[in-house]
Chains A and B, each alone.
Chain A
């Protein structure tokens, strides 16, 4: 069954790139991929439209990706939602920290369709 996805990034261009890359990677995802411009909007949207996988930027105005992960994991309704971070940040301690807070994966920008496919495949 196709997975439902949400892409969270303050840049509409980057949301478009991520969505296009997911389609290119040939993964089985629902026709509609939801979008949000920051963590707060994402939390609101997944309350009414739960998704299987969230791909979330870290550096965003408003609620950033690190805070989103913490708040999303406090709600038991999101227990089965996989959260993959997508960021230009590549420091090991940051990646380990956000995974300890509840992120399930991490992709560094710039990325290729192969990178996205590799990171998402275990959750498909």
Chain B
């Protein structure tokens, strides 16, 4: 049975909330503001998957937001002491855990996917691409005082 986009969208938001609230003690709210991109450099944590659907999940935030996420995850209040490696590693783990939460919801529905190891890139105007036949779910969420862009690209394997 084809997976409905609505249920994937719900899994993306629920999974993100679960991870941020449990591991980082941060509140996640759907943002109603028009997404106009992230000013300056950003970090994009991505993880690919294959199975009943294939594609990739991306979580993109500004460097400052990523630093705050890493600080909350590791319990380090002195954010200036966090290295760029630690911040990138934290973003990779966030992508990994959110993907795990989505996978858990798919498994509960009788579907399964295999998940890769996460990757993180730093730059401007970052986005993943899966070709013209991909379906896309995007959500902008507020994390306390900052925003993150969640993107789930997927397609059904031939």
Contacts and interface: CB of A to CB of B under 8 A. Distances in A.
Interface of A: 10-14, 16-17, 20, 59-61, 87-91, 108-112
9 contacts: A12-B89, A17-B75, A20-B74, A88-B104, A91-B107, A91-B112, A110-B19, A111-B22, A112-B22
A60 B92 CA distance: 13
Contacts of A14: 93
Given A88-B99, A110-B18, A110-B23, 19 more contacts: A11-B93, A12-B89, A13-B86, A20-B75, A59-B115, A88-B100, A88-B101, A88-B103, A89-B100, A89-B103, A90-B103, A90-B104, A91-B107, A108-B100, A108-B104, A109-B96, A109-B97, A109-B100, A111-B22
Contacts, number: 63
Contacts of B96: 11, 59, 88, 109
State the majority secondary structure of interface residues on B. helix
A77 B96 CA distance: 33
B11 interface: no
A113 to B, nearest CB: 10
Interface residues of B, number: 25
B74 A90 contact: no
Nearest to B91: A13
Contacts of B112: 91
A17 B96 CA distance: 14
Contacts of B73: 13, 17
A59 B115 CA distance: 9
Contacts of B90: 13
A14 B75 CA distance: 12
Nearest to A92: B107
A13 B74 contact: yes
B120 to A, nearest CB: 11
A41 B117 CA distance: 18
Interface in B50-93: 70, 73-75, 85-86, 89-90, 92-93
Contacts of B74: 13, 16-17, 20
Contacts of B70: 13
A88 B115 contact: yes
A34 B115 CA distance: 27
B100 A90 contact: yes
